[in-house]
Structure 1
Amino acid sequence: MIEAVGLRKVYGKKVAVQDLSFTVRPGIVTGFLGPNGSGKSTTMRMIVGLDRPSAGQALVDGKPFAQHRAPLSTVGALLDAKAVHTGRSAHKHLLAMAATAGIPRSRVDEVIDLVGLGEVARKRAGGFSLGMGQRLGIASALLGDPSTVMFDEPVNGLDPDGILWIRNLMKELAGQGRAVFVSSHLMSEMALTAEHLVVIGRGRLIADESVKAFVDRVQPRGVTVRSPQAEQLRDLVAAEGGRLAAMDDGSFDVRGLSAERIGDAAARRGLPLHELTTVKASLEEAFMELTANAVEYQAHGPAGGGPLTVPGAPAPAREEVAR
């Protein structure tokens, strides 16, 4: 279990993390989300003792990481998959880690097989692709069979098969009773993997709640309705004060009315409905809305909102205006 208690980190005049408190519980996957520059990496580094907090403390199983006698068996962390001696093979890299931590050599072969690097284990890590490097980083994190696992962007460089593998691995690790803390910018993956979220922006806590509770903070986008009697449906929505737009698949997007109100009104009129679905915001939409004021690095178009121009590209055609 990870406990952040009033964490604060200052670099010169820059406050990277401010009064941050949360708990990562065992048995579930906790997603760690935030815009670029929000303090996620700094927080994870403080948890494993790579950065010292300016105030507050980070505890793993009740005490600071540095006080654990067997740190690799306490926390397995993937923070930088490139932190490998490029001249060593994956096998030798893991053997060196095992030797320094008193971990049996047999465990090296176990994690190599677990991450699917058996065929390249004797090759130099410097020749690995990005995805292979990620797999080696995950093997390193799991080498000590830790009770807590931290992954920073674990799907980076993985192909679709690898993404599915790491997704299932994280769920399996949590199912074994471990605390799994994962940072990612891929909201689609977090929606499929995480049960709980810790969301920060500009170093401060924005949310510490279940994925469902976080998404439910944002109002539903609308209601999808499908009826064989399209005109009658249009009349019904207008009479109830809603707005309706036809979709390409033959359904209608209704705004301003709840699914319950539409269903009740249709029942009173005897109007058949083949679909009536409340369309909730996605995790990505909820994240974008709830962190909008916490984005530090934001791209902007040219002044005046005009189109972006690319050097060497033809100028956009000028629209003719009738006079």
Structure 2
Amino acid sequence: MPSVEVMIEAQALTKRFGGTLAVDELSFTVAPGQVTGFLGPNGAGKSTTMRMIVGLDRPTAGTVTVAGRPYREHPAPLCQVGSLLDAKAVHRGRSARNHLLALAQTHGIGRGRVDEVLETVGLSTVADRRAGGFSLGMGQRLGIAAALLGDPAVVILDEPVNGLDPDGVLWVRNLLKGLAAEGRTVLVSSHLMSEMAVTAEHLVIVGRGRLLADTTVADLIARVAVGSVLVRSPDAGELAELLTAHGAALTAVEPGLFQAAGLGAEKIGELARGGGLALHELTPRRASLEEAYMELTREAVEYR
């Protein structure tokens, strides 16, 4: 069982590539026991940050540590941090089994563990096929197997559901939750907000290399996005005029039914009562994570 003390800590982490500032004084902590989603638009610095965590890129300034020390200083890094940053980073001529065996031998990990992770990711029946012939989804599974090989306390996955079918997406979701439930530190990036909404408990969101939010999913939705209210009324026309006059933005759904944004359900009810207008339905709609994310990152999108 991983130690509950193991976490990822970034302090004023900065990375420049020539004249490009990819990561700009980024500070955050990824705690154990929960799935942390690492989100941001393309070009936000997510992949560069993940590469710095595992020592593939050296920070221009600042620090990032795992369990209190840089990744390079761990005597058996695969047993401390397992990562999937590029599913294509595999010798195409090797079989899945031999790819994992080559990694295992660098850390004295036995063949039995290789077979175990192949079974975990569902590749046992194709373990002796060349990885170069794998589909995108199979390559993702092999990358996840490599990340789990050392039974690490920290798991870092960059877009792990890319190329997976719905069953595979569900499998990854349950895998991540299971790893977190075991007390591991789990950091996962994704552009699928619907998946992050049901997988992650905490979010670190970046834009243009800077931290935009370090919060829970529920708090982000409550703080950033304003939900709408579904309104049904036999007096829809008059009610729509009244609500619009008070700043609401309306979207027609069907005759007598519309969505109202910008006013809460209580205010809409009070206005309808004051105007002597009937209400047959008044249903608040909670904003989605996607809506909250889009609102937060609106000014941080580099590639439009």
Write out aligned runs for 1:31-50 (5 A): 31-50=37-56
Query: CA separation of 1:57/1:256 partners in 2, compared to 1, >3 Å: closer, same or farther?
Result: closer
Question: What does 1:265-304 align with in structure 2 at a 5 Å threshold?
Answer: 271=278, 273=280, 275-298=281-304
How many angstroms does 1:250 deviate by?
5.9
Q: CA deviation at 1:113?
A: 0.7
Map of 2:217 onto structure 1: 211
Q: How do 1:38-187 and structure 2 match up within 5 A?
A: 38-187=44-193
Note if contact 1:103-1:144 (Cα within 8 Å) is conserved in structure 2.
Answer: yes
2:248 aligned with 1:248:
no
Native 8 Å contact 1:17 1:204 kept in 2: yes
CA distance in 2: counterparts of 1:219 and 1:92, whole angstroms? 48
In the TM superposition, what is the alpha-carbon distance from 1:251 to its structure 2 partner? 3.0
Q: CA deviation at 1:68?
A: 1.1
Q: What letter matches 2:124 in structure 1?
A: G
How many residue pairs get aligned? The number is: 294
Instruction: State the superposition RMSD in angstroms.
Output: 2.0
Q: Which runs of 5+ in 1 are unaligned?
A: 299-323
SS at match of 1:284: helix
CA distance in 1, matches of 2:131, 2:107: 21
Q: Aligned equivalents of 2:255 and 2:91: distance in 1?
A: 54
Shift of 1:65: 0.8
Matched residue SS, 1:260 = helix
Give the counterpart letter for 1:147 in structure 2.
Answer: A
TM-score, normalised with respect to structure 2: 0.90
Question: Are positions 1:224 and 2:216 aligned together?
Answer: no
The answer on whether the counterparts of 1:9 and 1:17 sit within 8 Å (CA) in structure 2 is yes
* Equivalent-residue separation in structure 1 for 2:293 and 2:142 (angstroms): 30
1:12 and 2:15 matched: no
* Alpha-carbon distance in 2 for matches of 1:120, 1:151: 23
Percent identity over the alignment is 63
The Cα of 1:265 is off from its aligned counterpart by: 5.3
Q: Unpaired segments of 5 or more residues in structure 2?
A: 1-6
Q: CA deviation at 1:18?
A: 1.1
- SS class of match (2:48): helix
Say whether 1:30 aligns with 2:36: yes
What amino acid maps onto 1:155 in structure 2?
V
Say which is worse superposed, 279-288 or 47-56, in terms of deviation.
Answer: 279-288
Does the aligned pair in 2 maintain the 1:237–1:262 contact within 8 Å?
no
- 8 Å CA contact retained: 2:35, 2:199: yes
Distance 2:252 2:204 in 1: 38
Deviations, residues 191-242 of structure 1 (Å, cap 9, x unaligned)? 1211111111111111111112222233424211235xx12x5445545645
Q: Is the 8 A contact 1:222 1:280 kept in 2?
A: yes
Q: Secondary structure at the match of 2:224?
A: coil
State the alpha-carbon separation in 2 of the partners of residues 250 and 173 from structure 1.
Answer: 48
Contact 1:49 1:66 in 2 (8 A): yes
